[in-house]
Amino acid sequence: MSVQRAVVLIGSAKPAGTSTSEALGQYLRARLQEHGVATTVLFVDRSLKSLANQALTAALAEADLFVLTAPVYIDSLPYLVTRTLEDLARSARPGRSPCAFAAVVNCGFPEAGQCRTALDIVRAFARRARFNWAGGLALGEGGVVDGQSLETLGGLTKHVRTALDRTAAELAEGRTVPAAAVEQFSRRLIPGRVYTFMGNLGWRRRAKRNGVSSALDAKPFELAAGK
Amino acid sequence: MRALVLNGALAGDEGLGPIEEAVTSDLVASGWTVERVQLRDVFIAYCKGCFDCWVKTPGICATRDDAGVVTRALARSDLVTLLSPITFGGYSSELKKALDRSIGIVSPFFMRLDGEVHHQPRYSRYPALLGIGVSEDRDPDEAQIFARLVARNAINFHAPAHAVCLLSRDDSPEQMQTAIGRAVTQVTTRRGVA
């Protein structure tokens, strides 16, 4: 059964156009569109004015595929995503027509495996909220993408794009994320040692721009000895 | 010895109150000084992912609200209790909001630890972690995810020890007290402060 309408929810708190989650979500949206799936991109509600995310709920009522793209914060999903999922699960109705749910998560460590707990959480959400779990993709070294479009990054993200191409093709046909795409997506963008070296260099450069190079190791909450 | 209890109950959920009381009384009886925070009653904005707490105001989030108080208490504690309804295997949004804002307690710089990359410690000592997850229906999959999440957090927060206590809302007060007492003993013994 082919999918007609999809919703891609970007789960990053960063401003539009600056997050890895958005870069991944926008790429997947374009591929789903190529397969004839009318795809809406929404962002997690940053306004905090309404617990019920009405635009998301309304879009999901018409969708037969829901894809979440999100960063991993401290081994799980960020607050804004967690709150959104709580709201969705609360409003889940038993009689709702079946909707597939897939997730694409990324973390700032080299190992994609550090996304595992976050993926398990979204899988558990799918069951609670009565979505049909269609599988998940995990990406390490999210800092390499850093909000840039995957095409801009050329060969660095070729395997990521291929994995998303395969995933879009399967999801569009109402099938699950293929195992080959899961493996391909999780491969390193650059060697881990290069990533950590560049990452550490990047922190130092940002600190220097902010004039706090000598304070990077500050311990503002350290207790005095003997306290 | 300082203990911090973070209660992640959502609005309208009064079921975690007795559990917070039970863990507090257990710790006080063992000589701990306990600070408690009902997270839904304090104002904490969500983490914007800007990393200013690493590269602009190192160790302190640039957003000034009650998260600063929680992070300070967390950094100065010997034991932190994360009390939460099990939410798809994870923490509630209330608890997650506070934890997201606390990443300044570690350094931005990377290090290898047991074959994985993590952030270096900022401080010379960190609190042990006790995760107390409260389930609606004893779902085994979610319980397993919760236990792994606490264990993973213990690695990333450089906790010297951790323990997990899984409770169900229909547990009797006696069952809860017993399970909490066992978990407190477990985590404090592992940490060497029993």
Looking at the DSSP bridge assignments, the partners of residue A169 are: none
ipTM exceeds 0.90: yes
Residue A79 identity: Y
Out of B89, B105, B124, closest to residue A121 by CB: B89
Which element (helix H / strand E) includes B85?
A: strand B79-85
DSSP structure string for A90-125: HT--TTPPP-EEEEEEE-SSS-GGGGHHHHHHHHHH
Q: Do A124 and B142 touch (CB under 8 A)?
A: yes
Nearest residue on chain A to B54, judged by CA atoms?
A216
Nearest to B163 by CA among B134, B191, B121, B124: B191
* B 116-155 residues with CB < 8 A to A: 116-118, 122-124, 139, 141-142, 145, 148-149, 152-153
User: Would you kindly state where each structural domain of chain A is located, as residue ranges?
Assistant: 5-212
Distance CA B42, CA B194 (A): 31
| pLDDT tens digit at each of 194 positions of chain B | 999 999 999 999 999 999 999 999 999 999 999 999 999 999 999 999 999 999 999 999 999 999 999 999 999 999 999 999 999 999 999 999 999 999 999 999 999 999 999 999 999 999 999 999 999 999 999 999 999 999 999 999 999 999 999 999 999 999 999 999 999 999 988 766 54
Distance CA A27, CA A193 (A): 27
* A 126-145 residues with CB < 8 A to B: 128
| CA-angle at B130, arms to B127 and B133, nearest 5° | 150
Buried b / exposed e over A94-113, threshold 16 CB at 10 Å, is: eeeeebbbbbbbbbbbbbbe
H-state helical runs in chain B:
17-29, 52-55, 67-75, 93-100, 140-156, 173-191
Interchain CB contact of A218 with B (< 8 Å): yes
Interchain CB contact of A108 with B (< 8 Å): no
Res A45: pLDDT: 77
Q: Do A192 and B117 touch (CB under 8 A)?
A: yes
Q: How many contacts, defined by CB atoms under 8 Å, are there between A and B? A: 147
Q: What CATH number labels A5-212?
A: 3.40.50.360
Interchain CB contact of B95 with A (< 8 Å): no
Beta-strand (E) ranges in chain A?
5-10, 38-43, 65-71, 100-106, 132-139
Q: Does the reported pTM lie above 0.90? A: yes
Domains of chain B: 2-191 (3.40.50.360)
Interchain CB contact of A213 with B (< 8 Å): no
* B 31-90 residues with CB < 8 A to A: 46-51, 54-60, 71-72, 75-76, 87-90
Q: Do B47 and A73 touch (CB under 8 A)?
A: yes
Categorize the per-residue pLDDT at A46 as very low, low, confident or very high, splitting at 50, 70 and 90: confident
Distance to chain A for B33, nearest Cα, Å: 13
Distance CA B53, CA B108 (A): 9
